[in-house]
Chain A
């Protein structure tokens, strides 16, 4: 158990709908990262937040947005869903030790768009 929690574990929805994925980082971790992992793709970095502020952006679609709240939990919003959005969505939080920043991953949310 990494200490990172994600809800829900599974989500089934229809095209055109909107969903919200939730992530709570490990206690004390200020950074939250979101990733998408499709069957034929590796882990694709979507976005990073640090202490409530957006820090880095990856290949995140305009239909997707995220935020990090004062209690440091984060939400990833996916709208106008398409079949191709079906994937595992992971969040990770990180701990810094010297020059090493290690990410610890939550169990993921499996999204199926029908």
Chain B
């Protein structure tokens, strides 16, 4: 089976940097996704990592270490609108995406 762990909640200050971690146990790893989900809305795609290293996309970056089963999402210059849940999801073998329970981020002034 697959297991994905993320912190349940985090709080950070506007303008700051926050790192949201995700650890996973899976076999036949094919890639890792990060999605953003505002309350009551659809998840929206943020990033995809399949190789080790850092992928940067504007204020958001995502890192992957396959040997450690570890990823993080880095959000810089936090804005109030970044308050949302951040979902880590892993694809392995021929199985569809498995999502973690998500990390609820609150950005405070």
| A residues lining the B interface (CB < 8 Å) | 2, 4, 33, 41-43, 45, 48, 56, 58, 88, 90, 99-108, 110
Contact = CB atoms under 8 A, between A and B. Distances in A.
Contacts of B94: 56
B61 interface: no
Contacts of A108: 40-42
Q: Range of interface residues on chain B?
A: 20 to 34
A104 B36 CA distance: 12
Contacts of B95: 56
A43 B99 contact: yes
B106 interface: no
Question: Which secondary structure dominates where chain B touches chain A?
Answer: strand
20 contacts: A4-B42, A33-B96, A33-B97, A42-B99, A43-B87, A43-B89, A43-B99, A45-B96, A45-B97, A56-B94, A56-B95, A58-B96, A88-B40, A102-B33, A102-B45, A102-B48, A103-B97, A104-B45, A105-B43, A108-B40
Interface in B32-47: 33, 40-45
A100 B48 contact: yes
A107 B38 CA distance: 11
B84 to A, nearest CB: 14
A2 B101 contact: no
B100 A42 contact: yes
Nearest to A58: B96
